[in-house]
Structures are given as C-alpha cells and as structure tokens.
Amino acid sequence: MNPSDKPAPADPLHAPHPPLAPYYGSEAERAAFLRQIFDGTAADYDRVERTLALGSGPWYRRRALERAGLARGMHVVDVGFGTGLVAAQAIRIIGDAALLTGVDPSPAMMGASPLAGRVKLVEGKAESIPLPDGCADFVSMGYALRHVGDLAAAFAEFRRVLKPGGRVCVLEITKPEGRVSSALLKGYMRGWVPLAARLSGAAAQTPRIWRYYWDSIEACAPPARILETMRAAGLVDTDRYVELGVFSEYRARAPG
C-alpha cells in the first residue's frame, strides 16, 4: 500500500466526484446522462477502447484479477459489465462462462458485448445489485467507479453479495501525481482519443464520452478516501496496487 493511501479519518464517500457542469447539472441528472451516453456509444466502445489502451488491455486485466485472488471455479459478479472487457478475462481464469453474472445499467452496452448470450446479464446499478445475498466468491468492477452515484452504498452491496471471505477487485484509472504526467495523460485522453474516434467515423457521442472520462478522472476523490469508504462498508484487508502510476487496483475481502 502506498504511504498516501493510509486511512483518512472522514465520513464514507458517496459521490466519487462533484457534478460535472459540461455534462450534467446535478446529481439527480447524472444517471440519465450516463445512460444516454453509454447507450449511444455502445457500438463503438470496444474499438475506441483499444485506441485508449495505455496498457490496460486483456493481459493487464487478467493479471490484475489474478493478483486480487480470482481463481478457477469461483462465482463472479462483474459490476459495471459494459461490453464485458473485464468479464472476458475473468472467464479465462474461472474456466466457465456460466460462473459469471454481469450487472450494468446500460442494456445497449451489454447487448453489444461478444459475451451476450453466453453469460447471465442483469440490468442494475452498483448501489442496488439485483442478486441474492452471499451469491459470489468474487466481485469485480472495471473502470466504472467514477460513474457510481453512491460509493458507500455500492461497497455495502459488494459486501452483501459476497460469501464470507469473498474478494473484491475494483480497477480504475487514477490521475497521476506528477504535473507533467497528468498533463500528458489529459492530452491523450481528452485530445487524441476523441480526435481518433471522430476520424474513425465513430458515433457522435463517442468523442464526448472520452472527454468525460478524463474530466471524471481529474475530479475523482483521492485513493485514500476510496479505501476508507471500503472499510466503512465492512470490507477488510483493503489495499491499493498501482501499475505505471495510473492504473489503480482497489482490493478487499468480505469478513469471515
């Protein structure tokens, strides 16, 4: 665990960042904005994500899940399933697509996944997962933490659906600490990736979602607050592994 990730004496974190004025005006409008933009970019998402990559491709996702303790035969709930980029690597580890359930608020994103029809997919939010208590050995979330309306509620739900001793792995992009590194990543994500999407003939909303991605990364609460909120939800053995100074892996375990 990094020194900067030591527990901070604070209330649990709810919204991971304040409302972002260029996209929505209040927390009440956030869910509608996200539904619209993700449904509108579903067909392009995987293609543009490969441009964004930055090392977070299949190999990295698989290694991150393994580092967090995912193993063959485990039952997985993948929250923020999207088009199944994290889920695809989880299946390679657990060995059976029937062991994975994907949860996402965007039916269009789930429908655009190559895994549609192979895995159980459920429309739902991280704050209210429509699954029974204690149904999972492992909960994953890939690059969706910034889109959750209430992190405290989401982490409490993670604990609820986990079996005793079950594990959590939340992958996220974190703003680099250095000014130069931050400026370079901002230029790439907010400038080059939207331009590449536009030149490739992507849908009109696609360049906008990548600009929103950077803006939400820049505004997101620091890692220490996220870890504190995981602990406040009753998760234990919390830590954060960082790859390349940018890719955060928040890990925890349900007690028992």
143 falls within a domain: yes
Q: Are residues 64 and 167 in the same domain?
A: yes
Q: Which of 75, 57, 246 is nearest to 167 (CA)?
A: 75
Residues 6+ apart with CB under 8 A from 104: 79, 80, 81, 82, 110, 121, 123, 124
68: closest CA among 173, 149, 142, 156?
A: 142
Strand arrangement of the beta sheet that strand 162-173 belongs to: 120-123, 100-104, 76-79, 136-142, 162-173, 247-253, 236-243
- Quickly state the pLDDT bin for 39 (edges 50, 70, 90): confident
Put residue 21 in one of left, alpha, beta given phi > 0 → left and psi -120 to 50 → alpha: alpha
Coil, strand or helix at 64: helix
Distance CA 253, CA 221 (A): 22
- Cα 221 to Cα 184: distance, rounded to the nearest angstrom: 20
Domain housing 34: 18-52+176-219
Could you tell me if residue 83 is inside a domain? yes
Percent of the chain residues past pLDDT 90, beyond the cut = 65
CATH number at residue 150: 3.40.50.150
User: What band does 122 get if pLDDT is binned at 50, 70 and 90?
Assistant: very high
Q: 181 lies in a domain? A: yes
Contact between residue 155 and residue 79 where contact means Cβ atoms under 8 Å apart = no
Name the token pair of 243: 């790859």
> Per the structure, how many domains does the chain have?
2
Instruction: Tell me if the pTM is above 0.85.
Output: yes
Question: CA 138 from chain center: how many Å?
Answer: 14
44: Cα within 13 Å, side-chain hemisphere: 25
68, 170: one domain: yes
The torsion region of residue 103 among left (phi > 0), alpha (psi -120 to 50) and beta comes to beta
Q: How much of the chain, in percent, has pLDDT values that exceed 70? A: 90
pLDDT digits (tens, 9 = 90+) for 135-164: 999 999 999 999 999 999 999 999 999 999
Return the HEC string of 134-191.
CCEEEEEEECCHHHCCCHHHHHHHHHHHEEEEEEEEEEEECCCCCHHHHHHHHHHHHH
One domain for residues 120 and 244: yes
Residue 45 belongs to some domain of the structure: yes
The residue type at 202 = A
Predicted pLDDT of residue 7: 46
pLDDT of 52 = 62
Task: Read off the pLDDT of residues 47-103 as tens digits, 9 standing for 90 and up.
Answer: 666 666 554 588 999 999 999 999 999 999 999 999 999 999 999 999 999 999 999
**pLDDT at 3 exceeding the cut of 50:** no
CA–CA separation, 68 vs 155, rounded Å?
16
Q: Are residues 92 and 205 in the same domain?
A: no
- Do 234 and 199 fall into the same domain? no
Residue of 26 and 150 predicted with greater confidence: 150
Residue-wise pLDDT tens digits, 179-234? 898 898 888 888 887 787 777 666 667 778 888 888 999 999 999 999 999 999 99
pLDDT of 202 reads 65
Q: Is residue 136 part of a domain?
A: yes
Are residue 145 and residue 236 in the same domain, yes or no?
yes
Strand partners, 142: 171
Residues 197 and 210: beta-carbon distance below 8 Å: yes
